[in-house]
Chains A and B, each alone.
Chain A
Amino acid sequence: AQSVTQPDIHITVSEGASLELRCNYSYGATPYLFWYVQSPGQGLQLLLKYFSGDTLVQGIKGFEAEFKRSQSSFNLRKPSVHWSDAAEYFCAVASSGGSYIPTFGRGTSLIVHP
């Protein structure tokens, strides 16, 4: 069965600093990978996704993520964080071979200091 680990429950950064949120997945074949963001009291917004091809994926709001098969990782990065980026971030993995139902990690809460 597929699974996702987000090892950091909370991450605190200063505004303008760079950001990296970690995600490790478990899946036997090449997975579909996603990052979603959730603001307080809101639904999930898709930031970016990886299906195949270039392992460096560009998303919305200046985010990018890199798929590293050897490390089973799909870390999310942003070079300069804005206060409005404070939110909950979820990594998800889905089967490339069928059901396509994503399995989500527990999420990482991003806190941005001015």
Chain B
Amino acid sequence: DAGVTQSPTHLIKTRGQQVTLRCSPKSGHDTVSWYQQALGQGPQFIFQYYEEEERQRGNFPDRFSGHQFPNYSSELNVNALLLGDSALYLCASSRRVGVGTDTQYFGPGTRLTVL
């Protein structure tokens, strides 16, 4: 059973560019959440997708956007990159349970460096 997969593993961009990160959830999971983990910090919640719609959002600007596809995979897009966007971006998948979800399982992350 494949777990959560993310691509690419590493990415280098320059300020002002745009980036797209990808995530495939664990088999049987229908909900995808994205987190940003700055160096030396815990993960911070960006947003969560379910049924192809953004359901919840953390305190991130609208330069951060996402998408979920019918097969439950997801993309995170960041526009107008800033140096401060350099971080490990983690995807987590889970199953919808009522108005919430079951335990989240994390992928290995994408390391984004903005120069």
* CB-CB nearest in chain B for A106: B42
**Is residue A63 contacting chain B, with contact meaning CB distance below 8 A?**
no
Q: How large is the interface on A (under 10, 10 to 19, 20 to 34, 35 or more residues)?
A: 20 to 34
Let me know if A104 and B42 touch, CB within 8 A.
yes
Instruction: Tell me, in angstroms, the Cα distance from A49 to B6 when the chains sit together.
Output: 24
A104/B109 contact (C-beta < 8 A), A43-B4, A99-B56 known: no
Which residues of A are in contact with B by a Cβ distance under 8 Å? 4, 34, 36, 41-46, 49, 90, 92, 95, 98-107
The 8 closest A-B pairs by CB, nearest first: A104-B42, A100-B100, A44-B106, A43-B106, A43-B108, A43-B109, A43-B107, A104-B43
- Extra contacts besides A42-B109, A43-B90, A103-B45 (14): CB < 8 Å: A42-B108, A43-B108, A44-B43, A44-B90, A45-B106, A46-B103, A46-B106, A98-B99, A99-B99, A101-B33, A101-B45, A102-B104, A106-B40, A107-B42
